[in-house]
A and B are shown apart, each in its own frame.
Chain A
């Protein structure tokens, strides 16, 4: 019998294969079958026909999606929001991580880090109640303060132009504790003898941060940046849907590809257009990930993903 034959290996690895089988079936069913399902974007979906037996529809779904005038808007919103989240979160999380390591009082450091981690543990549903508590026109805390100061109230839920700031702040709020941990880990990995050498040479604490800590954090920063750039065409559906909801007056400022797809599917039962929008998004995501991975491997081969 051929020692390297396929059947021989199948037998040799049968226990491994049995152990991995549930996960393989799971992934086939829940990830690979939906990949085949992207043909829906080219079909006129009927309930009777399902994914594979519905009639072909050519590029009509895409035509509809691109001519709706929504495609450009949601793409622009998705990309701009993600760029703003990435920029703001990176700066905030790095600052917090560096300053946390500079705190001499252990208790204060522990407590503030724990408190910053708190928002990470709650759902976006709860965040939406918190947002209402702050932003409501009639009862909101912020409008309460504005009234006390003798200023006019702001109707946040009808003022679209304010939502980029609101969404950036809530996004930062929810992720500051989680994100800063990664940068903290990077700082902890820096050799302390470098700091000792610098202080003997007379570097002050700010020089120490800008000349040692930040440059040595850069590998981590760049990898995390590139990874988040890979998801630039994905909207954070959970956040957008909970904070904005079905508030149509804000859509010009807040609609992203994911929320548009969701509405087309659930509210309008428009399977064709939803599938076309989803297909468009998946392809854009895939291309950016390939590009980003190329960049990562140019930057440092060890970090590239495949």
Chain B
């Protein structure tokens, strides 16, 4: 009887602290998740709101006076934004395929134990993460010595190779049983053939992970475009958005300084500036947001591997 009550008391006590923890876990993580989601909803809402409503009430959680005006302004001349999309898609596909191949090939060589110089080469690559020349020599190299101003290579090359991805790839390859590689060698495969025919098919999850890391870097890159691209028609998507958002602000300030009387000012007043910015942002963000639930698990894999072997 006595034992029974203490057992029950224990169960009740455990029940209480579990309940408190359960509440905390749902509450705190719920709030954090909400904070992560709500800003996106506000941008989408603003893109569907009328300009007058935004001017009157500011941005809000839900659309005000629902309208597609901002989107019709964005797509009035669809060629501009479609071209930026085209540039980004081209860079992402080309850069990812080339970067993935380069990194896999390098990681394969560095993982082959019979290659006695592999540690020396690993250090050669690794050292670049410890020390670098900084922005200025890199900028001078790109613009003056390689002459890559207004050249798509200036957008491809800086993101092509990363030591972090190389290390992830290497640790995946190290996980492949060596006997498989030896067997391929006995069957008469060369090193390159072994890599393409035996190792790469086994590396599909790794290639997906690293490929997505590279693809995301290309998709989101605006910095290299800011440094090396002057021509409007060569702008990738993110830099296009950056320029547009800044131009809209600059244009608005210019018009305000001219006073309200001129015709330019009147037409600028009727142009949806705030909702336009938000609509542009939605159009630029769109694809990545639609894709991310599908690619997220590969990122999780990659981060976990990266954490184990920094």
Partner of B102, one of A22, A34, A99: A22
Q: Are A274 and B33 in contact (CB under 8 A)?
A: no
Interface size class of B (residues with CB under 8 A): 35 or more
The stretch of A9-17, A62-70, A74-82 in contact with B is: A9-17
Partner of B157, one of A24, A30, A117, A286: A30
Q: How far is the CA of A238 from the CA of B293 in the complex (A)?
A: 25
Q: Which of A166-198 contact B (CB under 8 A)?
A: 173, 176-178, 181-182, 185-186
Q: Chain A residues with Cβ under 8 A from B308's Cβ?
A: 185
Q: B152 contacts the other chain (Cβ, under 8 Å)?
A: no
Q: Chain B residues with Cβ under 8 A from A275's Cβ?
A: 134, 136-137
Q: Chain A residues with Cβ under 8 A from B207's Cβ?
A: none
Q: Chain A residues with Cβ under 8 A from B300's Cβ?
A: 181
Partner of A128, one of B115, B121, B144, B245: B245
Q: How far is the CA of A43 from the CA of B24 in the complex (A)?
A: 59
Q: A19 contacts the other chain (Cβ, under 8 Å)?
A: yes
Q: How far is the CA of A286 from the CA of B110 in the complex (A)?
A: 25
Q: Are B307 and A122 in contact (CB under 8 A)?
A: no
Q: Chain B residues with Cβ under 8 A from A147's Cβ?
A: 58
Q: Are B43 and A133 in contact (CB under 8 A)?
A: yes
Partner of B141, one of A33, A265, A278: A33
Per-position 1/0 for B283-301, Cβ under 8 A of A: 0110011001100100110
Q: How far is the CA of A114 from the CA of B33 in the complex (A)?
A: 9
Chain B min CB distance to A93 (Å) = 10
B interface SS class: helix
Q: How far is the CA of A224 from the CA of B104 in the complex (A)?
A: 26
Q: Are B192 and A99 in contact (CB under 8 A)?
A: no
Q: How far is the CA of A92 from the CA of B137 in the complex (A)?
A: 37
Whose C-beta in chain A lies nearest to the C-beta of B118?
A16
Q: How far is the CA of A172 from the CA of B109 in the complex (A)?
A: 38
Q: Which of A239-292 contact B (CB under 8 A)?
A: 242, 245, 258, 261-262, 265-266, 271, 274-275, 278-279, 281-282, 285-286, 289-290
Q: B281 contacts the other chain (Cβ, under 8 Å)?
A: yes
Q: Are B138 and A30 in contact (CB under 8 A)?
A: yes
Q: Are A119 and B36 in contact (CB under 8 A)?
A: yes
Q: Are B289 and A121 in contact (CB under 8 A)?
A: yes
Q: How far is the CA of A181 from the CA of B304 in the complex (A)?
A: 7
Chain A min CB distance to B102 (Å) = 6
Q: A154 contacts the other chain (Cβ, under 8 Å)?
A: no
Q: Are B58 and A266 in contact (CB under 8 A)?
A: no
Partner of A129, one of B103, B115, B219, B278: B278
Partner of A205, one of B10, B21, B60: B21
Q: Are B115 and A125 in contact (CB under 8 A)?
A: no
Q: Are A282 and B134 in contact (CB under 8 A)?
A: yes
Q: Are A100 and B134 in contact (CB under 8 A)?
A: no
Q: A96 contacts the other chain (Cβ, under 8 Å)?
A: yes
Q: Are B102 and A23 in contact (CB under 8 A)?
A: yes
Q: A16-B115, A99-B24 are in contact. Are A26 and B102 (CB under 8 A)?
A: yes
Partner of A206, one of B21, B61, B238: B21
Q: B22 contacts the other chain (Cβ, under 8 Å)?
A: yes
Q: A56 contacts the other chain (Cβ, under 8 Å)?
A: no
Q: Which of A118-136 contact B (CB under 8 A)?
A: 118-126, 128-130, 132-134, 136
Chain A min CB distance to B13 (Å) = 7
The stretch of B77-85, B123-131, B175-183 in contact with A is: B123-131
Give 10 new A-B contacts, CB below 8 A, not counting A34-B138, A37-B138, A182-B307.
A19-B192, A36-B137, A99-B25, A121-B288, A121-B292, A133-B42, A147-B58, A205-B14, A271-B140, A275-B137
**Chain B positions near chain A (C-beta within 8 angstroms):** 10, 13-14, 17-18, 20-22, 24-26, 28-30, 32-33, 35-37, 39-40, 42-43, 46, 54-55, 57-61, 102-103, 105-106, 108-110, 112, 115-117, 121, 123-126, 128, 130-141, 144-145, 157-158, 160-161, 166, 190-192, 195, 216, 219-223, 227, 238-239, 241-242, 245-246, 274, 277-278, 281, 284-285, 288-289, 292-293, 296, 299-300, 303-304, 307-308, 310
**Chain A positions near chain B (C-beta within 8 angstroms):** 9, 13, 15-16, 19-20, 22-24, 26-27, 29-38, 40, 45, 47, 50-51, 92, 95-96, 99-100, 102-105, 108, 111-112, 114-126, 128-130, 132-134, 136, 138-141, 143-144, 147, 173, 176-178, 181-182, 185-186, 199, 202, 204-206, 209, 220, 223-224, 227, 237-238, 242, 245, 258, 261-262, 265-266, 271, 274-275, 278-279, 281-282, 285-286, 289-290, 303, 305-306
